[in-house]
Amino acid sequence: MSSKVTELQTATQVNNSPTRGTLFVVSSPSGGGKGTLVRGVLEVVENLSYSVSYTTRGPRANEVNGREYFFVDVPAFEEMVAGGEFLEWACVHGNFYGTSKQQIAEKTAAGIDMILEVDVQGAASVRKLLMDSVSVFILPPSFAVLKERLCARGTDTPESLAVRLRNAPNELDQYSAFDYVIINDKVERAVRQLASIIYAERARCVRQEGLVRRVIEEFRSVDDRG
Ligand code: 5GP
Res 11: pLDDT: 40
| Rg of the Cα atoms in the chain | 19
Hey, which residues does 156 pair with through a beta bridge?
A: none
Mean pLDDT of the chain: 89
- Correct CATH for 3-224 of 3.40.50.2300, 3.40.50.300, 3.10.290.10, 3.90.1150.10: 3.40.50.300
Res 14: pLDDT: 38
- In whole angstroms, what separates CA 133 from the centre of its chain? 9
pLDDT beneath 70, residues of the chain: 1-18, 130-131
* pLDDT tens per residue, range 31-78: 888 899 999 999 999 999 999 999 999 999 889 999 999 999 999 999
Query: Is residue 12 within 8 Å of residue 129, measured between CB atoms?
Result: yes
> Nearest CA to 27 among 147, 150, 155, 124?
124
How far apart are alpha carbons 3 and 6 in whole angstroms? Answer: 10
Identify the residue whose C-alpha is closest to ligand 1 atom 12.
118
Q: Which residues line ligand 1 (CB under 6 A)?
A: 30, 53, 57, 88, 90, 92-93, 97-99, 117-119, 121-122
Identify the residue whose C-alpha is closest to ligand 1 atom 10.
119
